[in-house]
Chains A and B, each alone.
Chain A
């Protein structure tokens, strides 16, 4: 059997379009361990062909073979996006080249997005400056709404969101010892969200992990591109994407202290952002008529709920950040109801 990278090169070199090979040999690879990514995550291989100075594609491979489903989800939903948006998709997301198996592992090949990941945004000088945050937030909101508009379709394609939410709430109760107030708030959240969902007439493709770490500032056009669609799904509710961007930004502004302190710090920042960042962000997104955008409090609590149980539900283990999301959920009980 050939080494894995040699076989990866063979697959890349077999890709063609309109009868023409997309890439020229030889291929060279850079394997990115993804920094502090854990073992349930993917390894990313950036491929260089003979003609270009930048990588021409990115191949994602799960560290554990059992997690190939993530890449299948990403591939299917990138295909959905390209089908809904046509050639315009190139302005928003990578192009899916193929999903295959190699030496018993799943491999997703997508186009490379040249540019800077926003993960690098400075904790203090960026996230501490509400003017800069508002500017990025407006841009992200507009682009997210564009994506949602272009994927909106009649509701029969959506998953059973009500049942899904109930499962998450139950897992949340199992994982964490909730106070009486928190338990009541969780029940009320599930009830309110389920009521809201009944009003929806359309479903859209949500990204499921819409935070700045999954955004790349395109090198040529200077526009935002959205990567990592492995948690994407069709939903009648866009709140997860809309509010996750705000919560992840606020958490990025916190230090590396105890979880409880970080949650409090993020909550304080979010409260400060109520003056300008949040109204501008939500105005940039607009108010959808046919699908659901929850009010701030329930939308943010829903995000925390989903993030706190995601590792347990998807991978069967507890991630260190689960408690952070659970703590932020508790802080958000104090958020004023609009």
Chain B
């Protein structure tokens, strides 16, 4: 055949590796007032550039404590609290959320992704702190956020194919439906739901997003 395609533009966005659909859990906001926090990750940064996501600010974690201005409307930490920068104790985490809240304008929102602390295998490899829906809600409230809402996500924070309200029908729907790669843990959850019910299964989801209002 002897031909090669001549790309119209650069390679397609690498959304396959890092889905950004958690954006829909938040209100729209101006790019200048949106901020993303994540551990240095070349792939994720490249994805953001390729999709031209309207994010003007990427504050490094080390810069965080020095900032005082309430200039941010949306602050997203899609992969969660960096284990290297936040201590293990609950008060360490609460203090960290307090420092984030100081940056967020009144009426703004914080999004935090987190792996389930029961998911020991995934957490042993993660650069970020795991948690549970209850702990996360408590800590965000202690940090002064007005409300905190939890969403389930599957199969992972890197590729959250499904993001859903913690509602038995929504969980059932997400677990029943197709995945490109259905991890064993989701098969197990589906089986387990028969024994403990759809409501309690929400504690065993692989990961979550918390959305807190400042």
Interface check A120, CB cutoff 8 A: yes
A256 CB-CB contact with B under 8 Å: no
Give Cα A317 to B51, complex, Å: 12
Report whether B28 and A39 are in contact in the complex, using a CB–CB cutoff of 8 Å. no
Q: Which residues between 165 and 196 of chain B lie within 8 Å of chain A, taking CB atoms? A: 165, 167, 169-170, 173-174, 177-180
Contact of B51 among A39, A43, A53, A174 (CB under 8 A): A39
Tell whether, in the assembled complex, residue A38 and residue B12 are in contact, meaning their CB atoms are under 8 Å apart. yes
Contacts of A177 in B (CB 8 A): 2-4, 6
B13 contacts partner chain A, Cβ-Cβ < 8 Å: yes
Task: Give the distance in Å from the alpha carbon of A318 to the alpha carbon of B8 in the complex.
Answer: 6
Shortest distance from the beta carbon of B42 to any chain A beta carbon, whole Å = 18
B window 1-57: CB within 8 A of A: 1-10, 12-13, 15-16, 19-21, 23-29, 50-51
Whether B5 and A103, one on each chain, are in contact in the complex, defined by CB atoms closer than 8 angstroms, is no
B164 at the interface (CB under 8 A from A): yes
Tally of chain B residues near chain A (CB < 8 A): 44
The answer to the question of A117 belonging to the interface, with a C-beta cut-off of 8 Å to chain B, is yes
- A317-B16 contact given A4-B27, A119-B178, A120-B178, CB 8 Å threshold: no
Instruction: Please give the distance in Å from A272's CB to the nearest CB on chain B.
Output: 22
> A63 interface residue, CB < 8 Å from B?
yes
From known contacts A38-B15, A53-B169, infer whether A175 and B5 are also in contact, taking CB-CB under 8 Å. yes
Q: Select one of B2, B16, B27, B162 contacting A32, CB under 8 A.
A: B162
Q: Is A221 an interface residue (CB 8 A)?
A: no
CA A177 – CA B5 in complex, angstroms? 7
Q: In the complex, which residues of chain A have a beta carbon less than 8 angstroms from the beta carbon of B3?
A: 176-179, 326
- Kindly state the separation between the CA atoms of A177 and B2 in the bound complex, as whole angstroms: 8
Q: Which residues of A have CB within 8 Å of B163?
A: 30-31, 33
Q: Are A28 and B12 in contact (CB under 8 A)?
A: no
Q: Knowing A39-B51, A177-B4 touch, does A30 contact B27 (C-beta < 8 A)?
A: no
Q: Which of A48-67 contact B (CB under 8 A)?
A: 48, 53-55, 61, 63-64
Say yes or no: is B118 at the interface (Cβ < 8 Å to chain A). no
From A30, A175, A312, contact of B174 by CB (8 A): A30
Q: In the complex, how many angstroms separate the beta carbon of A78 from the nearest chain B beta carbon?
A: 23
**A174 vs B8: C-alpha distance in the bound complex, in angstroms?**
9
Task: State whether B173 touches A323 (Cβ < 8 A).
Answer: no
Q: Which residues of B contact A23 (CB under 8 A)?
A: none
Tell me if A318 and B24 are in contact (CB < 8 A): no
Checking B25, B174, B177 against A3 with a beta-carbon cut-off of 8 angstroms, the contacting residue is B25
Bound state CA distance, A317 and B161, in angstroms?
23
Q: Which residues of A contact B127 (CB under 8 A)?
A: none
Contact yes or no, A176 B21, CB < 8 A: no
**Across the interface, which residues of A come within 8 angstroms of B25, CB to CB?**
3-5
* B80 part of interface (Cβ distance < 8 Å): no
> CB of A224 within 8 A of chain B?
no
Name the residue of chain A whose CB is nearest to the CB of B167.
A28
Given contacts A2-B27, A3-B211, A48-B169, contact A39 B174 (CB under 8 A): no
A171 to chain B, nearest CB (A): 9
- Judge whether B1 and A175 touch: CB under 8 Å: no
Q: CB distance B27 to A33 under 8 Å? A: no
Residue among B12, B24, B178 making CB contact with A61, cutoff 8 Å? B24
**Interface membership of A19, Cβ < 8 A:** no
Contact B169 A179, beta carbon cutoff 8 Å:
no
Contact residues in A for B169 (Cβ distance below 8 Å): 28, 48, 53-54
Contact string, A195-213, partner B, CB cutoff 8 A, digits 1/0? 0000000000000000000
Select A35's contact among B4, B10, B12, B179, beta carbons within 8 Å. B179
Q: Which residue from B6, B24, B165 sits with its C-beta under 8 Å from A175?
A: B6
Q: Is the CB of B178 within 8 A of A30?
A: no
Say if the beta carbon of B78 comes within 8 Å of chain A. Answer: no
Interface string of A14-53 (1 = CB under 8 A from B): 0000000000000011111111111100010110100001
Query: 10 A–B contact pairs at CB < 8 A?
Result: A3-B211, A4-B24, A5-B25, A35-B161, A37-B15, A39-B51, A48-B173, A63-B20, A174-B6, A317-B10
A-B pairs with lowest CB-CB distance, top 3: A103-B28, A1-B27, A28-B167
